[in-house]
């Protein structure tokens, strides 16, 4: 039965599913590896195949989450670090031609946050912020019941806000933004720098410990690892405080690999929020873990397909 399809396009895998309701999809989910190395035409063709497989025919409409900044209005990708050749790609038009149906494209973190708003921790709110803390930091901002995209379509880059005047730089070159300190990459880089500086830690001797290894060390009582997570938590909390002061959301949900170690972050995160947020809007804002986990991207794409192209067939 054809229908509305959501696609979660990642750097390594593609998942597609057909909507069974406004925020739900039917099993089975169509999956395939992302042929990123074969170029954008191959990736678009694989997405179209997965969509047809999910819909068992030509879909009525597709919404796809793409990992990079893009213009959802124009349907153009500005950049996608994990997908060579996607820079400047008219992805909406190409996928629409390949799949034979209308297509909506959106940033993957925006759609994950949309899912968390319609079916997760943000359900029932009018204003909501989603912050995904993994290798990088992305998110989504819902203002007065709308997924906010801003004038260029690239808003809600909640990881790239000022944090420290001195640095470090994040992977995208911004000096002293949140992502450089609190992302998985940021935590790993700060660990490496501390080890080079001679700090004592059980991380010493490990080959490039990543954020998940560092979390294990923190749980085993390693003081450096504990401090790295506390610093990430405080930086996150301060940025949440800034969001609370600027936007006054009803809730902020945080997901992603680093945020899965919420217990290592939470104390410092709440301290950081209190350092910056005014008491009244802080009291009105629930802050906690996202509820949909790795499902968020696909749920968001399906929900967006339903929103853009009507009720499921």
DSSP category for residue 37: G
CB-nearer residue toward its own copies: 53 or 154: 154
CB-nearer residue toward its own copies: 78 or 262: 78
CB 2, min distance to its own copies, A: 34
CB 96, min distance to its own copies, A: 23
CB-nearer residue toward its own copies: 53 or 172: 172
Q: Which residues bind its own copies (CB under 8 A)?
A: 69, 78, 126-127, 141, 143-144, 146, 148-158, 160-165, 172, 174-177, 234-235, 238-239, 241-243, 245-250, 275-278, 280-281, 283-285
CB 150, min distance to its own copies, A: 2
CA torsion angle 171 63 103 93 (round to 10): 10
Q: In terms of Cα–Cα distance, which of 297, 301, 294 is closest to 95?
A: 301
Alpha helices, H only, the chain: 40-55, 91-99, 108-119, 178-182, 184-196, 211-219, 223-247, 262-276, 279-283, 296-309
Compute the distance between CA of residue 93 and CA of residue 244 in angstroms, rounded to an integer.
Answer: 37
Structure tokens at 120: 């997760």
Q: In terms of Cα–Cα distance, which of 151, 213, 211 is closest to 185?
A: 211
CB-nearer residue toward its own copies: 52 or 238: 238
Structure tokens at 36: 């990123």
CB-nearer residue toward its own copies: 34 or 239: 239
CB 139, min distance to its own copies, A: 9
Backbone dihedral angles phi then psi of residue 60, each to the nearest 5 degrees: -80, -20
CB 243, min distance to its own copies, A: 7
CB-nearer residue toward its own copies: 161 or 217: 161
CB-nearer residue toward its own copies: 90 or 248: 248
DSSP category for residue 159: T
CB 165, min distance to its own copies, A: 5
CB-nearer residue toward its own copies: 59 or 249: 249
Compute the distance between CA of residue 175 and CA of residue 181 in angstroms, rounded to an integer.
Answer: 10
SS (H, E, C) 199-221: CCCCCCCCCCCCHHHHHHHHHCC
DSSP category for residue 257: T
CB 307, min distance to its own copies, A: 17
CB 26, min distance to its own copies, A: 34
Compute the distance between CA of residue 271 and CA of residue 105 in angstroms, rounded to an integer.
Answer: 37
Residues in Cβ contact with 257 at an 8 Å cutoff, skipping those fewer than 6 apart: 133, 134, 135, 184, 211, 212
């Amino acid at each position: 039965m054809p229908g509305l399809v959501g696609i979660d396009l990642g750097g390594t895998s593609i998942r597609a599913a057909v909507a069974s309701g406004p925020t739900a999809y039917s099993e089975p989910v169509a999956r395939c590896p992302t042929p990123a190395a074969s170029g954008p035409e191959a990736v678009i063709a694989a997405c179209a195949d997965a969509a047809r497989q999910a819909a068992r025919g030509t879909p009525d409409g597709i919404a796809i989450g793409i990992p990079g900044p893009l213009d959802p209005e124009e349907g153009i990708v500005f950049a996608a670090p994990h997908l060579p050749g996607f820079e400047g790609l008219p992805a909406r038009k190409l996928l629409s031609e390949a799949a034979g149906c209308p297509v909506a494209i959106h940033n993957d973190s925006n759609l994950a946050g949309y899912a968390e708003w319609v079916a997760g921790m943000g359900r029932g709110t009018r204003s909501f912020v989603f912050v995904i803390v993994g290798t990088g930091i992305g998110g989504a901002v819902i203002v007065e019941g709308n997924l906010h995209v801003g004038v260029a379509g690239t808003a809600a880059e909640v990881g790239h806000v000022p944090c420290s005047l001195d640095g470090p730089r994040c992977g995208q070159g911004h000096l002293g933004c949140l992502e450089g300190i609190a992302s998985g990459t940021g935590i790993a880089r700060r660990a490496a720098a501390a080890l080079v500086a001679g700090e004592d830690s059980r991380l010493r001797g490990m080959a490039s410990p990543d954020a998940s290894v560092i979390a294990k060390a923190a749980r085993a009582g390693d003081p450096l690892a504990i401090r790295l997570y506390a610093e990430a938590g405080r930086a996150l909390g301060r940025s949440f405080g800034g969001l609370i002061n600027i936007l006054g959301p009803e809730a902020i949900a945080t997901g992603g690999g680093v945020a899965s170690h919420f217990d290592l972050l939470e104390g410092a995160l709440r301290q950081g929020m209190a350092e910056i947020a005014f008491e009244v809007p802080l009291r009105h804002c629930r802050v906690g873990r996202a509820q949909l986990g790795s499902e968020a991207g696909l749920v968001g794409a399906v929900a967006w397909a339903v929103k853009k192209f009507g009720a499921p067939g």
